[in-house]
Structure 1
């Protein structure tokens, strides 16, 4: 059985978040229709950064009916000498 995975990332100061949504092939068309139906007229994509708080609530409310498995990964980063972030142990 194949699955579809959709990934998005975000960084807030020293915290790096990675969200992964996994959708079964049988639910993919239904989910795409749901998401496309949530767009405003002439809106090409949904992006939380561009949405108002009221719209974010509307979108999240609609997504609660979707059959999707979501995992969120969190990493803390420190800046190394080369400027690259790296994971930090939370021991």
Structure 2
């Protein structure tokens, strides 16, 4: 007998993990991380190979969540990149002092 998985159970939010952003259930892998790799040209299969503890179904669930909430996830990615840039500039400034 096969087991049916409700895909709604594959993504969740936990305020104690990554500030409550969407993650693949049972892992600490964020949808944002999957979306970044996808936007860099990785296929779902390649992402699942690189993060070997994820199933292909989990990666596709993250991608479906990303596409359904693209504006929000893209805004999160942009904010994360801006914060990284800010910290890098701060670090460079402190090294020169």
TM-score by length of 1: 0.30
Structure having greater relative contact order (Cα 8 Å, sep ≥ 6): 1
Higher helix share: 2
Q: Normalized against structure 2, the TM-score is what?
A: 0.29
